[in-house]
Amino acid sequence: MSLEIINVNEASGIPLFGIDFLGVIDRGSNVIEIKCNTKCNLKCKYCFVSSGDYDTNFIVNSEYLLSKVKKVIEIKGNYDIEIHIAPYGEALLYPSLYDVIKNLWEVKGIETISMQSNGLLLTDEIIKNLNELNLTRINISLNTLNEKLAESLCNCKTYNINKLKQNIDILLNSKIDLLFAPVWFPGKNDRDIEDIIKYVVELRNRGYSEKKVQIGIQKYLIYKTGRKLKNVHPKSWDYFYKQLAILEKKYSIKLKLGPLDFGIHKRKNISNATFRKGDIIEVQLLSKGRWKNEVIGKIDENIGIKVLLIKPLTYSSNILGKFVKVKIIKASYRDNILTALFPF
């Protein structure tokens, strides 16, 4: 894990819109994602953002983050908003997690606060604190109940399944809803996915409602910037949904979840639609990124951009503050994330 940490606050000048791993992500719905830190306690072999061993980690100031969330809500409308704490790292390692949750509830229109976690850092005290803060739901990335396989997938020496299940029982007896979010690695954890389904069925048979304990199986995807499991190849979406349908019938449980199952609906979004792939724009380089070939650029007060340095160029403090021309290689209207190349 990197020892260098950059604190992102208003004084840093780093914008909180437009950068995939920092700040606020808007995907055109009533759900607002916040990326508050990049530190992680694991280095999973399948992590799509390669979290756990960045050259540099980032922590976003909670007040700065909150101010930007409020701006997004002003645009979307202050009703039926969900805040989803989903960093490129482990949410429980964010030092201001409790403050953020507490202050978010004071914002008009926020009705749900959820978060993602691998669950391994949970304790009785942490769950008690999250419960008192009225966290709505926690999504736990549990891929197997087999301890050895979990250790292999998560690239860690100890993965205490029994302790995690004990904490899950504590969660289930709190006000916090629980969603298991396993990734299905074809040929690797097929039986394990069924074990998790049976675990959920068992919990529901113990009296917990479908809202209280849910399961959302994720399809394994490979990303250019992510780690890849050896000898595991993603299947088509058709194959994935056909397999879910078979398991739904086998266990009498709904597995094909969609936006309506979580109350997600389209909503006005903040837009970077003026930017297009291939555009050449001028940005100011403000900070190193997570990697030696990555820097953070600033387009204006609100919009940032991830800039990838073309080899052999790597980060140097000499480039900070400079205005340079970059070429946009990603400009997604759906999630307002921007990526560019320099030089080009």
Q: How far apart are CA 85 and CA 135, in angstroms?
A: 11
What's the confidence (pLDDT) of residue 1? 46
The token pair that represents 187 in the structure block:
């040929």
Q: What is the pLDDT of residues 116-148, one digit of tens each?
A: 999 999 999 999 999 999 999 999 999 999 999
* Pairing assessment for the beta strands 177-180 and 137-140 based on DSSP bridges: parallel
Alpha-carbon 217 to chain mean position: 16
What's the confidence (pLDDT) of residue 270? 86
What's the confidence (pLDDT) of residue 332? 80
What's the confidence (pLDDT) of residue 334? 77
pTM of the model: 0.95
Q: How far apart are CA 303 and CA 319, in angstroms?
A: 19
For the chain, give every domain's residue range.
Answer: 5-262, 280-342
Q: How far apart are CA 316 and CA 295, in angstroms?
A: 10
Q: Looking at the DSSP assignment, which residues form a beta bridge with residue 77?
A: none
What value does the CA radius of gyration of the chain take, rounded to a whole number of Å? 20
* Pairing assessment for the beta strands 218-219 and 110-117 based on DSSP bridges: unpaired
Per-residue pLDDT of the chain (344 residues; tens, 9 = 90+): 457 999 999 999 999 999 999 999 999 999 999 999 999 999 999 999 999 989 999 999 999 999 999 999 999 999 999 999 999 999 999 999 999 999 999 999 999 999 999 999 999 999 999 999 999 999 999 999 999 999 999 999 999 999 999 999 999 999 999 999 999 999 999 999 999 999 999 999 999 999 999 999 999 999 988 999 999 999 999 999 999 999 999 999 999 999 999 999 999 988 767 899 999 999 999 999 999 999 999 999 999 999 999 999 999 999 999 999 999 999 987 788 999 999 98
What's the confidence (pLDDT) of residue 80? 97
Task: Quickly name the fold that domain 280-342 has.
Answer: OB fold (Dihydrolipoamide Acetyltransferase, E2P) (2.40.50)
Helix residue ranges, H only, the chain: 62-76, 97-104, 124-132, 147-154, 161-172, 190-205, 237-251
Which CATH superfamily groups domain 5-262?
Answer: Aldolase class I (3.20.20.70)
- 91 touches 85 (CB < 8 A): yes
Q: What is the pLDDT of residues 180-212, one digit of tens each?
A: 999 999 999 999 999 999 999 999 999 999 999
